[in-house]
Amino acid sequence: MKEFIEQRIIGAVRGLLTGEVNDTLGDLMFHVPPVEFGGHEGATAITPVIHLSTCEQTEKERIIRLDAYLVTIAFNLPETPESELHCYAYSAAVCKALGENPTLGGVVDRVVITGKKYSPPKNPNCGEGWGLVLSLRLTIEGIGNAG
């Protein structure tokens, strides 16, 4: 069974988060819950939501046949005194990991962080948590990417 490029992208992003990002978080002088997938979210781990969509191509990308995708990674953190610091730690760890692995292990041609949004709780001390949304723009050679 062939794997679609979209599946490969999501798998590569998950691998980046559970690999290089967790390694960076583990090297910090303070504890930040690691990224895990598979229902372990809580005080001991965090499970970000990954959303993939296609995005508009530049004229150059159309000419040289590059497909463009937008990936958003949303971290929702429970409200604790360290939540804001954890948002910044996740953001920095993802930036560092993408700087060291800008092709997601060869799955894409290039990944660029296009946005970071930090969201504090609207009503502090009411059970709402902090949020971090990272937007990534990926480009990959078009035509025949399915496998």
Which CATH number goes with the domain that contains 122? 3.30.70
pLDDT at residue 137 in the model: 95
pLDDT at residue 42 in the model: 60
Q: Are 61 and 132 in contact (CB under 8 A)?
A: no
**CA atoms within 13 Å, Cβ hemisphere of 83:** 21
Q: Is residue 146 part of a domain?
A: no
Q: Is residue 147 part of a domain?
A: no
Q: Is residue 29 part of a domain?
A: yes
Q: Is residue 134 part of a domain?
A: yes
Q: How many domains does the chain have?
A: 1
What's this model's pTM, rounded to 2 decimal places?
Answer: 0.88
Enclosing domain of residue 25: 5-141
pLDDT at residue 9 in the model: 95
pLDDT at residue 133 in the model: 98
Structure tokens given for 32: 């930040």
- Give the torsion sign (CA, 20, 93, 109, 135): positive
Query: Which amino acid, residue 43?
Result: A
Q: Is residue 27 part of a domain?
A: yes
pLDDT at residue 145 in the model: 44
Write out residues in the chain with pLDDT < 70, as ranges: 1-2, 39-43, 125, 127, 143-147
